[in-house]
Structure formats: structure tokens, C-alpha cells
Amino acid sequence: MEIKGTAVKATIDYVKERQKNVYQQWINSLPENSKKIMSNMINSTEWYSLTDAVVIPTEKLAETMKKPTQDIAYEIGRYSAEVALKGVYKIFVLISTPSFMLARATNIFSTYYRPADIKLLINEPKHALFEFRKFSEREIIIAYRIGGWIEKALTVVNQSLTSSEITKRNENGELIFNIDVKWK
């Protein structure tokens, strides 16, 4: 699986801005391929290995901070939404409904991962269900990252998340992740 550079940059920016006290320790903990990506300028249009550019760096940040990997992934997702939904995008988000915003976000998420298959299966006024296919077991952290993004995006449109559940299942040998979110 590959990830677009724009999404890779969110991890580095999160650590530099929110966890700067562990930045160097984190960089030093990375294996060579990940360290090379994180230490150089990220090209937002380039494709990177999802494992080397996001999975391993997130796992190593979690180890450095002594927190569960899914919690760190969720925090990075929240941070990414906070940054993305500022300025002109914030105005767009404020005038749209949560359902419309999440439908548009799903289209954008799909352009950040290849060869991923990301769909919005349920899009009701206070409920959404996302499905992720073609990701490996280790790549489930992307679901937590997107879950954090969704939670923060809903707060931008003044909605309170009432539940968020990430599940996985095996269907005919294919691993499928779901994010099921409900809000007030």
C-alpha cells in the first residue's frame, strides 16, 4: 500500500508541533527507510510506502511516548483535520452538513492511498459507516487516524461525537476495516 506525501507530512508536522520534546528521540528510533523519509523534505504529490512512511513512524512514536499506537494514530488524525479545516476550508465546512462533509472527505481519503478501496456505506444525518478494503492487518492504524480526523471534523461543524467504533473482519480471505460513527 502507498500513501500520498500530503498525508505523510501530517505525521512529521504533528510531532514537530505537538511532541517536539521527543522529536529527535523519535527520529533516532526509526529504521533507515523510515528515517530517510522523515528526515527529508516530503513531496506532497509523491507516493511513499505506507509501512515506512506512516505505520512504522506511528508505532515508534507510540513506543517513545509510551502510549498505545491507535491513540497516537487518532491524535495525528485529529491534528490533520485541525490543520486541513482552517481558513477557506473552515468556511466551506461550516456551511455544509456533516453528511455532505463526510461524503467529500471519503472521496479525498480515497486519493491518499493506493490501491485502497474506501467507501462510505451509510451516510445518514447522524450516522456514518466507512469501509476500508485492501489494507493489511498492520495498516489498521489508518482507520484510527481517519477516525480521529472525522471526530475533529465533526467538532468543527459543531457536532458532538456520541460513538466511534473501529472494527475488522475477514470476508472471503479479505481483511476489511470499518469505522462506525454517530453524532448528536
For the segment 156-174, what is each residue's pLDDT rounded down to a tens digit? 887 888 999 999 999 999 9
Q: Of 58, 92, 82, 56, nearest to 72 (Cα)?
A: 58
Beta-strand pair 117-124/127-133: antiparallel
Q: Mean pLDDT for the chain?
A: 92
Sheet harboring 174-183: ordered strands across? 117-124, 127-133, 174-183, 161-171
Which residue carries 472527505 as its cell?
Answer: 105
Residue 98, C-beta contacts closer than 8 angstroms, at least 6 positions apart: 125, 126, 128, 154, 157, 159, 183
CATH architecture of residue range(s) 79-183: 2-Layer Sandwich (3.30)
Asked if residues 3 and 48 have their Cβ atoms less than 8 Å apart, the reply is: yes
Q: What is the mean pLDDT of residues 105-133?
A: 94
Q: How high is the pLDDT of residue 88?
A: 59
Q: Which residues pair with 35 in a beta bridge?
A: none
Q: For residues 160 and 30, what is the distance between their CA atoms, to the nearest angstrom?
A: 36
Q: For residue 75, count other CB atoms closer than 10 A to its CB.
A: 22
Spans of all domains in the chain: 2-76, 79-183
pLDDT at 76 > cutoff 90: yes
82: left (phi over 0), alpha (psi -120 to 50) or beta: alpha
The answer to whether residue 155 scores a pLDDT higher than 90 is: no
Q: Is the pLDDT of residue 50 over 90?
A: yes
